[in-house]
Structure 1
Amino acid sequence: MSGQGSTANVIAAICSVIIPGLGQLVQGRLLAAIIQFGLAALLWLVLLGWIIHIYSIIDAARFKAS
């Protein structure tokens, strides 16, 4: 089971740095990945995508599998 700060979460966070939602996809959280990617894409149109981008990185890094 991977917890906060685990190698898997660090890799997921790095993936989210590249593309928002990719880290969640790597963790198998398809719905979260779609939502975060979609929100980031929409918000980048008005130059606020960095908010979701940063949230996506933090969310991937802090994920705790249940």
Structure 2
Amino acid sequence: MSSTGQGSAGNVLAALCSFFIPGLGQLLQGRWILAAFQFVLAALLWLILLGWIIHLWSIVDAAMFRPR
């Protein structure tokens, strides 16, 4: 997915996707490694009730992403 910059419709969609599944927004933006890292880390941390930290990071990161 191509986006024009921070606040673009693509970033808003990516942030919404990450709201439901951490890393999904990064996956839509083509950032495979970060998406996998955030998904696995959130899954592990939800076991000790700290997954919301990674969940929020994933949402904010997707919303603030600026392609190079």
Structure 2: state its 5+ residue gaps: none
Counterpart residue type for residue 46 of structure 2: W
Counterpart residue type for residue 15 of structure 1: C
Superposition TM-score, scaled by structure 2 size: 0.95
Give aligned pairs, total: 66
Could you say what secondary structure the match of 1:37 adopts? helix
Aligned-residue sequence identity (percent) comes to 65
The 5-angstrom pairing of residues 26-41 of structure 1 reads 26-41=28-43
CA distance, structure 2, for counterparts of residue 19 and residue 2 of structure 1: 23
Moved over 6 A (4+): none
CA distance, structure 2, for counterparts of residue 37 and residue 15 of structure 1: 12
2:25 is matched with 23
Q: In the alignment, which of 53, 56, 59 is matched to residue 55 of structure 2?
A: 53
Shift of 1:2: 1.7
CA distance, structure 1, for counterparts of residue 40 and residue 57 of structure 2: 13
Counterpart residue type for residue 23 of structure 2: G
- Structural RMSD (CA): 0.7
